[in-house]
Structure 1
Amino acid sequence: MRLWRCCWADRLRQMPRYATIDVGTNGMSGTVTTLFAVQHAIEPYDSERVHGGTLLLVQLEALADKLCGLPLAERQKLPGLQPKREDVIPAGALILLEGLRALGLDRCLVSDRGLCWGLLAHRFGATHS
């Protein structure tokens, strides 16, 4: 995992940094919602508790280290970790972590809604949710 992590970190360092302006990022993939659910031990999964949550960089650093350090059998026991994600969640955590670092961001807003929902909300004037 260390080599993989370095490879992603090098690639993502080429992205523009936004530390000097007020921007944020929304994560809306199954990986992001799963990481939030694991961080907060949400079992069974509850979209109302997940949607609108925030993953802080410091939380994600600790969670990524934990997930990368646990064998598959131990990850399967974690509350909030959906079946069939146990094998891919460490890589997803590292991608999100290195992406936030590369962008100079310290948090990620978690969305349980998909991209199409966001586009529709933007098009028709929804201001939140």
Structure 2
Amino acid sequence: MGCVFCEIINGERPAHMVFEAADAVGFLDTRPLFKGHTLVVPRAHHETLLDLPEGDVGPFFQHVRAVAGAVERGLGAAGSFIAENNRISQSVPHLHVHVVPRNPKDGLRGFFWPRHKYDSDEEAAGYADRLAKALGEGAS
């Protein structure tokens, strides 16, 4: 079986792309905790953070940081939740960091997180576009 994220990176599987860089991509999670929930994924296949070469960690997390800022600027979120699983609870065995928009009293607590689907493909595309535009504005 192939890797779902490698298929997205290679253009073999559709995704709502938020950004594409030489070393990483960001796209919307298909089962978001909240709308705008973005996955930041290295282009090279590494199963976990521990497998990512040490020299790539800083540049990779610069992308995570940029997406966290875009979530606030582009979606008006009060903050963000950033998470990464290594093996346990890692639904796709390809390193990925979740950047989830957060707001006060949004209902996210503990480890029982509700998932919110997009109403349509067009709505998902709109969220991806808003985040991509906010990334273009740069960190403030």
Query: Which range, TM-score by smaller chain?
Result: under 0.3
Select the structure that is richer in strand: 2
Higher relative contact order (CA 8 A, sep 6+): 1
User: What's the TM-score, normalizing by structure 2?
Assistant: 0.25
Q: Considering only CA atoms, is the larger Rg found in Structure 1 or Structure 2?
A: 1
More helix by share: 1
